[in-house]
Amino acid sequence: MKTALITGSSSGYGLETARFFHANGWNVIATMRTPRTEILPQSDRIRILPLDVTKAESISAAIEASGPIDVLINNAGIGLVGAFEASPMSYVRKMFETNTFGVMAMTQAVIPQFRVRRSGMVVNITSSVALASMPLAAPYTASKLAVEGFTASLAHELKAFGVRVKLVEPGYAPTTRFAENLELRVEDLIPEAYAAFAAPIFADFSKPAMVTKESDVAETVWIAANDTSEQLCFPAGPDALALAKAGRRLAL
């Protein structure tokens, strides 16, 4: 029976992915900054551990408590929507610490056990911003594109040791708790000079033609985690799939 360690499992994609892997017979180590036992089924195949991916000591403790794992799913992330001109650099740095450096730190922490066993999988969850540029999300896009480049390079590096690395790229999911994870109010990040530009963009956001469901992402992560081909990228959700099919992927 395989074991998956999932970061950011308290809500959204991470929570749904933990439920999906458990329902399909895997052992699940669901990690979150503040453990919440009531959100997942009571099962001897589920363990909930505290983890802050921005703190080295927290990563070390979680990896030690987890024991051997087969798949690491890097899902933890925070967002930022607004004009770059008004985005505090302190928050931009904080976002990179979670979205980018947190992914790198978690991956680095599990590589030794994967390399020694000559097996293992890392699945990094990014975003469809890697498939097409989106306005009012420049720092967030940068944090996710950095993970895309990191993952593509690492896939080559670890292939020699039988370790696979994959990307899952979710589309737009207004039903997730992404907006609740924003620590800064969007209205404070839209200066008056940007109001006319931003208005139609937010209008489009409120009435998207296609959306990605949490279940779309969980199912795609499952497919990626069990994939044995050389495929690197797995768009998740109808909008992300449409962008990928249109060949609008940003150059890395």
- How many helices, marked H, and strands, marked E, lie in the chain? 8, 7
pLDDT (tens digit, 9 = 90+) per residue, 166-181? 999 999 887 554 445 5
Which residue among 13, 91, 140, 194 is the active-site one? 140
Asked whether the predicted pLDDT for residue 113 surpasses 50, the reply is yes
Residue partners of 220: CB distance under 8 A and separation at least 6: 168, 170, 234, 235, 236, 237
Please give the domain boundaries of the chain with CATH numbers for all domains. Answer: 3-245 (3.40.50.720)
Average pLDDT of the chain to the nearest whole number: 93
Residue partners of 180: CB distance under 8 A and separation at least 6: 11
Confidence of residue 123 (pLDDT cuts 50, 70, 90): very high
140 flagged as catalytic: yes
